[in-house]
Structure 1
């Protein structure tokens, strides 16, 4: 088996204002680093258009219609101060969760060893009824629900190492005993959620906040003391990763000082947990990462570990 990489040129067509950190160049940076012959073993697949009905696994119909209606015929429209839409945003959004859902299909069927979805816009800040933090639809929650509905998966774990807390994912899974949400993130920082005390109705929300200036030692301790034991106890059938790379020391939006080797380490540990509890089933979905060099380095380390596990 191999690692499947989902990508598509439509992700370049979700346009943002000049100077906006969530920009098409993020996808170009990933394409450039993955063009190295080392990554030739990746099975590269065009991200498919997602079934719009699967959005309703995470968001109500009125929200889906609101996002569709917000797509402009020309130019860029603001949904909130940070979150925008352009004429190409609808296709990009549909191919984003379409990639995540298809990756789940291929991993659950055994066709793929694991998968990485190089998509944008990101998703983990999107709450049930609110687009925010650059996010329109919550891709990873849609994929988790798809795994449960289409493949009979009983327990899904979502691990989020983006430097910003995935408030949207937490919001959607707060009272769900069938889904574990684990997050490392900087606090205080946008969006302001993710305290240790936020554990959900069933203890299936596990937050491990980091402080500005923290680096490898604190990140690894948070993972080893809180998140890895929670996954072991939960015994998931599938692990989804909200793979944000903005905890890299170069990133302009936060003050956590991780390096490429930290993303290698955490990916390897999650793959080991997947081997132990989830028959190796892992799907990773791109979230943040706003320094292009930091994003490229970190994602390459992450994907290299995925490839090592599936070879």
Structure 2
């Protein structure tokens, strides 16, 4: 149902778990560079680069393009990234482009949600109005139907959204400005909202509700085949990550501070890291800058004609 689609925005860093034989699910906040896992089976995932470079919502057609068409369209984007038009794409220019695609996703998403829930475009949106728009369908549903596929009831979703709404409502007037609405939809972007990201993550993973996350709960959140005799190698790696890096105090559990360090890593800028990675991949003369030729020679790293979900950014005419 259409209303259920809106509920998918409950947490930007959370994605629905995939079947046991597919890639793992990630809860690490990645500034919306991509919904793809950055590493799969300890190998760098090129799909992450494609989405980070082009932007998820603007990347839908490259699988239909020939290598020649891909390179032609990529060439046009390189001209936009090279803001000083000196023929060289610097790490900063690449960083700024990646941040731009991230912000464009957020701005487009907020605008779409704001218009849908506030069709008269008033300065603020009241909780009662939002609740009626998103959850009004509940009034005509049988109680037995009021539970989603993940086991959370719609009543619990309302309660969670209302709690997040009040945190975003900085002036406590029960209504959100578009800036506050942005914080509500994308709490990971606002420092004063990050606590709710941690709280919601804890609630999702902590199945026995003891206020901490065990190794079994941690693995079970990303791998539904937990306990199988032959589990993927990445699962063993995640067990090691939990013991060696996530569980800072070595007590066998993750508390709220440890969860925050996991899903919102401090002092780590994903746009910086991705810009450095793309330069590393394409910089053939090791001058820490990229010519258009170097980028086009590695066009598959940036867009990949075989990547089914990437490329629509190149057919838009409003990148800047």
TM over 0.5: no
Greater fraction strand: 1
TM-score tier (shorter): under 0.3
User: Which structure is larger by alpha-carbon Rg, 1 or 2?
Assistant: 2
If asked which structure has higher relative contact order (CA below 8 Å, sep 6+), I would say: 2
Q: Whose helix proportion is higher, 1 or 2?
A: 2
Question: TM-score, structure 2 length as denominator?
Answer: 0.22
